[in-house]
Structure 1
Amino acid sequence: MSQAVSRTPSAMAQRDLSARQAIVVACLAMAGIIFLDLMDGRLGLLFSVGFVLIAVTVPLAVDVRSLFPAGVLPPALLLGSLLLICMFDSSAIHVEGLAKDAGLVGLFIGTVIDHGLTLVIGHGLALGVIALRILGDRRG
């Protein structure tokens, strides 16, 4: 019979991404999600779900010593993404109750408020994953 070989934690840690690599991959993934979501001309559910998945995946992909950038990334990623969408495709953003002639700053603030729950969910889950990673590292 063949014996199953299990990987040690140190061998698995060699596959972890650095903070810089994880941030670059997260930004590229977010750009892809935005591109796919804006194909119908409207920012919608795909953006929110994609953001939450990216926010949770980054802390799982980085080395334990790189968890601080993974914890700071979700708000910066959401704000940066929404700002770029406001600047380059403002017609894709539809915020209930926002004036049609709102400027860039008003549109950006309205959009951030409109996606506030997405940020709370994504960042909260990311911080939970970070806490579990830290607790797991202390035990190991």
Structure 2
Amino acid sequence: MASALWRAPRNLASHDLTARQAVVLAALAMLIVTALDLIDGRLGVAFGVGFVLVVATVPLAVRSDAFFTAGVFPPLLFAAIILAVAAFFGSALVIEGLPDSAGVLGRALSGTIAFGVPLLVGHALALAVIVVRILKEPA
């Protein structure tokens, strides 16, 4: 009975996602989270929490050969989402002191600074999950 428990993780590992599948699903999840958060016209806490949860989940879902992608992906996803929000929903990035005449890149940079904590926390958690998975992986 105990030997069956030891074999379960290896059997389950065959169902892990490839790097491409993880990127597509994470991007789709972030688009949904961002769209739901934009219902009230502002990007807020739900976006930050959703980002942290999505990027911390990606390293848990990928195969071990996709750890590099899972580690590099969070800042790229964040930059893409913030840039898209700045381009299409510029008024959703409510940042004190930002002039109305700020362009897309100015709004994206200000949004990155304003939401810097979720970016750092999410990326740190993703990297920590990767380290733990590497240390726990059988030799």
1:98 alignment counterpart: 98
State the match for 1:29 in structure 2: 29
Q: Percent identity?
A: 47
Matches within 5 A, 1:108-123: 108-123=108-123
Q: Cα distance, 1:104 vs. partner?
A: 1.3
Q: Deviation of residue 9 (structure 1)?
A: 2.5
Q: d(CA) in 2 for partners of 1:96 and 1:118?
A: 19
TM-score by length of 1: 0.92
- Aligned pairs (5 A) from 1:71-82: 71-82=71-82
Instruction: Report how many aligned residue pairs link the two structures.
Output: 137
**Any conservation in 1 of the 2:42–2:92 contact (CA below 8 Å)?**
yes
Give, as a single letter, the amino acid of the residue that structure 2 aligns with 1:123. Answer: H
User: For 2:93 and 2:115, how far apart are their aligned partners in 1?
Assistant: 11
Partner AA of 1:59 in structure 2: P
Q: Does 1:68 align with 2:68?
A: yes
Q: Which structure 2 residue ranges, 5 or more long, are not aligned?
A: none
Does structure 1 retain, via aligned residues, the 8 Å contact 2:26–2:54? yes
> Unaligned regions of 5+ residues in structure 1, if any?
none
**Equivalent residue letter for 1:42:** R
Offset at residue 111 of structure 1 (A): 0.8
Q: CA deviation at 1:8?
A: 2.5
CA distance in 2, matches of 1:110, 1:40: 20
SS of the residue aligned with 1:35? Answer: helix
Deviation of 1:133 after TM superposition, in Å, equals: 0.5
- Aligned counterpart, 1:84: 84
Partner of 2:124: 124
For 1:61 and 1:21, the matched residues in 2 are separated by 10
1:55-102: CA deviation from partner (whole Å, max 9, x where unpaired): 100000001111100001100000000000011111111012211211
Structure 1 moving runs of 4+ over 4 Å: none
RMSD: 1.4
